[in-house]
Amino acid sequence: MPNDQRPIPRVDYDAVASAFDKRYDHQRYEQVERAVRRFVETHDLPAVLEVGCGTGHWLAAIAELATVVVGVDRSLEMLRRAVATAPQALLAQATAEAIPLGRARFDRVFCVNALHHFPDPATFLAECRRLLRPDGAFLSIGLDPHTGIDSWWIYDYFPGALVADRRRYLATPRLREMLVAAGFSAPRTEIVQHLPAEREFDVAVERGHLERHSTSQLMVISDAEYEAGMRRLREERPILRADLRLYATIAELPPR
């Protein structure tokens, strides 16, 4: 079967939940946090829902800005950690396409680095439309590997990861089209954080950046692809370079 037609494995976040928050030790995502807080602050004390909330990192960042903070995630182990990280939040286990909450309950719905994990983004966006009140707004933050302007050592040494990402991630123009189709208006996209990075091979190994659970890009490729890339890395011991951009796409609902 051609490489770009193989089913993409679903990432088992129950298995990696205990190590997930290590990523924030090496990258604080300050501009992402500012963007999420700014998005929430555009409404006076809103009710906010995060879909794909994981361990609650972003819920904790906006808890004091909202009257109600709710997080949903498919992974029960991630939610167990979110209880401690974001004790103010209400949490529920659910898929993005079937959120067991009532219509028009929220003023803001967002997801950060999560949309590419949702199998049916059109149904997810329809759920967001259902859950939002008139004048509500939606935010998604994530990569766009379709632009061709980013570079990443993972894509260089594990090319199957780039193939998978171009299937998993929506191009931002396509996301805006889908938002309009779901009933949102005036979707717009901007670069919210630029992530240039350069690390020596030994430092990357020490910090765990080459471990499979360190990023979903290494979890969705085959064992053979992962081992082939690791062999190359051990032989070449390169400086590991990345030049990535995270994009924020925002759209609003029209007033009643």
**pLDDT of 139 strictly over 60:** yes
Look at residue 90 and tell me if it is in a domain: yes
Structural domain for 97, as ranges: 3-145+170-194+245-252
Q: Kindly write down the DSSP assignment for every residue of the chain, as one continuous string.
A: --GGGSPPPPP-HHHHGGGGGGHHHH---HHHHHHHHHHHHTSSS-EEEEES-TTSHHHHHHGGG-SEEEEEES-HHHHHHHHHH-TTSEEEE-BTTB--S-TT-EEEEEEES-GGG-S-HHHHHHHHHHHEEEEEEEEEEE--TTSS--EEHHHHH-HHHHHHHHHHSPPHHHHHHHHHHTT-EEEEEEEEEEEEEEE-HHHHHHTTTTSGGG-HHHHSS-HHHHHHHHHHHHHH-PPEEEEEEEEEEEEEPPP-
- Report the number of distinct structural domains present in the chain: 1
**Alpha-carbon dihedral 112, 248, 146, 152, rounded to 10 degrees:** -60
Look at residue 40 and tell me if it is in a domain: yes
**Under 8 Å between Cβ of 177 and 239:** no
**pLDDT of 18 strictly over 90:** no
**pLDDT of 43 strictly over 80:** yes
The pLDDT, as a whole number, for residue 242 is 97
The pLDDT, as a whole number, for residue 9 is 84
**pLDDT of 11 strictly over 70:** yes
- Of 213 and 123, more confident: 123
**Under 8 Å between Cβ of 209 and 199:** yes
Q: At 5, is the pLDDT very low, low, confident or very high (cuts 50, 70, 90)?
A: low
Q: At 86, is the pLDDT very low, low, confident or very high (cuts 50, 70, 90)?
A: very high
Look at residue 161 and tell me if it is in a domain: no
- Of 25 and 105, more confident: 105
Task: List the structure tokens of 38.
Answer: 């700014």
**pLDDT of 3 strictly over 80:** no
Look at residue 92 and tell me if it is in a domain: yes
Q: Which of 2-11, 55-64, 91-100 has the lowest mean pLDDT?
A: 2-11
Q: At 19, is the pLDDT very low, low, confident or very high (cuts 50, 70, 90)?
A: confident
CATH number at residue 35: 3.40.50.150
The pLDDT, as a whole number, for residue 188 is 98
Look at residue 159 and tell me if it is in a domain: no
The dihedrals phi and psi of 230, each to the nearest 5 degrees, come to: -65, -35
Q: At 2, is the pLDDT very low, low, confident or very high (cuts 50, 70, 90)?
A: very low
Q: Give the mean pLDDT of 43-62.
A: 96
Look at residue 200 and tell me if it is in a domain: no
Look at residue 120 and tell me if it is in a domain: yes
**pLDDT of 4 strictly over 60:** no
The pLDDT, as a whole number, for residue 134 is 94
Look at residue 209 and tell me if it is in a domain: no
Task: List the structure tokens of 180.
Answer: 């309009």
Q: Give the mean pLDDT of 118-137.
A: 97
The pLDDT, as a whole number, for residue 1 is 35
Q: Give the mean pLDDT of 173-177.
A: 98
